[in-house]
Structures are given as structure tokens and as C-alpha cells.
Amino acid sequence: MKEIRVLVCGAMGKMGQEVVKAITEAENMQVVAAVDIMHIGESLSFLTQNDSVRVMDSLEQAILETSPDVYVDFTNPTVVYGNAKVCIEHGVRPVIGATGLSEEQIDDLRQRMEKKKMGGLIASNFAIGAILMMEFSQRAAQYLPDVEIIEFHHDNKLDAPSGTAITTATKIAEVRTPHKQGHPDEKEVLSGARGASWTGIPIHSVRLPGRVAHQEVIFGGVGQILTIRHDSIDRRSFMPGVVLGISKVMELSSLVVGLEKLL
């Protein structure tokens, strides 16, 4: 099997470093380039035991110098769209874990990949347990349509609600008739107290130091409560899904949204 050459965007961030280590430990994969706005020129030898890969600040230059097959992006919503367009233009297949892309941006990236006859992956969560949590929640919503979502993340997360929460609510909405929950005359004494609303599903975002990524989906019925919860207590929980995504994306001929479609 041909070795997959991987470029990592945001390689010096917490998620980026875990991605570099996971790829280094995986079979038939190699980190050939690292891009970040910090630690430019520094070696990745402390992560890969390979002194030849150094951090660059130009994504396009890194592509031209190293010819990667796949790029992995866990940066932030303000740059991921631009990164993706550059990589697609050069025929590098995207595996995107950064959330915050709009539907219009996703559609544009899909069209760009179709023109290039190449595949890519965008996933709101790469933890296998989180994928199962979303699938179980969709199943439960068929029988318990009153539901609220609480997601907890570290205090440096830029978007709220999380991509996972929005994906969960979207899956639930596919099997649930939209309706307003709670008392019809309910009044928010403080604006936002009932959370954001996605087709009538309240979503609450908590941001605290010490957290990684956690979500509760709480269903209520007559005389009963069902809670489906997933906790990522270490960023390593996402790595098996990232490695799977890198491997599978080489076989795709179009954009796939959601890791569950590759399981």
C-alpha cells in the first residue's frame, strides 16, 4: 500500500500535536509538512523523531515543497475555509475537523472538489463514542421528542454552540416534528436563559477551563428522563477517527460531511 503523505495545519496547537503523533504512529502514513503561525522554523522532532519536518507559515509553499496527498486542519473557523480552497486547488485532499463552516462555504468546497474529481471529509467530531452518541440520540428522538442539548468545552473554544451540538440537533430534527418546548407562556427573565434554538431544540453551551469536549442529550417523557452523554477527557480520543478519515479520504471522489458516513 502506498504511503499517505500528510500535511498538518495548526500543527503546534494542542489538537495539531496529537494529530502529528497519531499519524507518526500509524501504518502507511507520514507527516511531510507542518503549517502554523507560531514556532515557525522549529523542528517536529519532539513529536516525530524526524528532524526533517519543520514548521512553515505558508500553506501554499508547504504544498509545493512537499507534495502531500492529504491535509488535516484543526485550526479555527476564521482560516479553515481559505486553507481548504488553497489545498483543493493543488489537489490535496482535505480532512477538516475545525467547525464553523457555513452551508454556503461547504457547498462551495463540494463544487470545487467535484471539478477536481477528488474527495474530502468534514467532520464535527472524530471521537467514535461521540458519533455513537449522535446516532443513539436520533433513534431516541423518534420516541421521546422533547429534548435539550448541553455541550461543555474548554474556555478557548471559539464557536458556540459546538459543531457536534448542531450536528446532533440536525440529526434529531430529521425524525422529530418541530415544536416549542416548555410552557407556552414561558418568559425569559434573562435573555438567553433557555439557550439557543435549533428547530425548537434548546442548545446550551458551557465554556470552562479544565474541560475538553463533552455533551449531554437529555430527553424527557411522562415520568421519565433519558440522558445520553459522551465525554472526551483526552484529545487522543479523536485520533482513531482522524487516522481513519485520512485513510478513507484517499478512496473518495466527492466531499463527505460526517465521519459516521465512513464507518
- 114 plus 243 within the same structural domain: yes
Task: Please give the average per-residue pLDDT across 204-224, as a whole number.
Answer: 96
- 135 plus 245 within the same structural domain: no
Q: Please give the Cα distance from 262 to 245 (Å, whole number).
A: 8
Task: Please give the average per-residue pLDDT across 39-55, as a whole number.
Answer: 84
In tens, the pLDDT along 151-171 reads: 999 999 888 999 899 999 999
Please count the structural domains in the chain: 2
CATH number at residue 199: 3.30.360.10
Mean pLDDT, the chain, integer = 93
Q: What is the DSSP string of 147-208?
A: EEEEEEE-TT--SSS-HHHHHHHHHHHTTS-----S-TT---SSTTTT-EEETTEEEEEEE-
In tens, the pLDDT along 19-44 reads: 999 999 999 999 999 999 998 998 88
β-partners of residue 206 are 152
**Residue 169 sits in which domain range?**
128-232
In tens, the pLDDT along 103-152 reads: 999 999 999 999 999 999 999 899 999 999 999 999 999 999 999 999 99
- 97 plus 176 within the same structural domain: no
Enumerate the active-site residues: 153, 157
User: What's the pLDDT at 124?
Assistant: 85
Choose between 63 and 48: higher pLDDT: 63
- 117 plus 132 within the same structural domain: no
- 100 plus 167 within the same structural domain: no
- 175 plus 76 within the same structural domain: no
User: What's the pLDDT at 182?
Assistant: 87
CATH number at residue 111: 3.40.50.720
Number of alpha helices (DSSP H) and beta strands (DSSP E) in the chain: 8, 12
- 142 plus 176 within the same structural domain: yes
- The total of other beta-carbon atoms located within 10 Å of residue 92's CB is 25
* pTM (two decimals): 0.83
- 60 plus 148 within the same structural domain: no
- 253 plus 156 within the same structural domain: no
- 204 plus 252 within the same structural domain: no
User: What's the pLDDT at 1?
Assistant: 67
- 104 plus 16 within the same structural domain: yes
In tens, the pLDDT along 72-100 reads: 998 887 899 999 999 999 999 999 987 77
User: What's the pLDDT at 47?
Assistant: 81
User: What's the pLDDT at 154?
Assistant: 94
- 113 plus 206 within the same structural domain: no
